[in-house]
């Protein structure tokens, strides 16, 4: 019977060691889980900060694009008006040259 008791004691010792090993593995895994959760929380915070920054940049960009589009419209209208002024000036100059030319041929303006 003492031999059976010794075998049983050996089994008990191995069982206790296995349980202790499992507890140590659980503790290590808990530490890893805690570290992973901390890293996850840190990354989520960084994502939130970056998302807010991205939103601000997008809003700023949209405002600048709208301003540029307004300037493009104003510039196009101004250039079109300026071209009309140039065309009118050319027409006026041509009419004036014709008038001056016809005055030169007029007998009233000829000098002796």
Residues 26, 35, 41, CA angle at the centre, nearest 5°? 135
> In the prediction, which pLDDT does 1 show?
72
> In the prediction, which pLDDT does 68 show?
98
Residue 94 CB burial class (10 angstroms; 0-12, 13-18, ≥19): exposed
> In the prediction, which pLDDT does 109 show?
57
> In the prediction, which pLDDT does 110 show?
56
Which stretches in the chain have pLDDT values below 70?
Answer: 107-112
- The C-alpha atoms of residue 64 and residue 56 are separated, in whole angstroms, by 12
> In the prediction, which pLDDT does 54 show?
98
- Dihedral of CA 70/73/74/76: which sign? positive
- With a threshold of 0.75, does the pTM exceed it? no
In whole angstroms, how far apart are CA 11 and each of 4, 90, 100? 10, 113, 128
Tokens 């600048």, residue?
64
> In the prediction, which pLDDT does 101 show?
86
Q: Left if phi > 0, otherwise alpha if psi is -120 to 50, otherwise beta: which for 110?
A: beta
> In the prediction, which pLDDT does 106 show?
73
- The C-alpha atoms of residue 109 and residue 100 are separated, in whole angstroms, by 11
């Amino acid at each position: 019977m003492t031999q059976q008791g010794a075998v049983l004691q050996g089994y008990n010792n191995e069982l206790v060691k296995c349980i202790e090993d499992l507890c140590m593995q659980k503790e290590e895994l808990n530490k890893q889980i805690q570290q992973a959760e901390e890293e996850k929380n840190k990354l989520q915070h960084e994502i939130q900060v970056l998302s807010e920054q991205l939103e601000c940049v997008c809003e700023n960009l949209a405002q600048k694009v709208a301003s540029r589009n307004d300037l493009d419209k104003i510039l196009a209208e101004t250039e079109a008006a300026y071209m009309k002024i140039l065309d009118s000036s050319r027409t006026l100059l041509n009419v004036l040259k014709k008038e001056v030319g016809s005055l030169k041929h007029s007998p009233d303006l000829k000098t002796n």
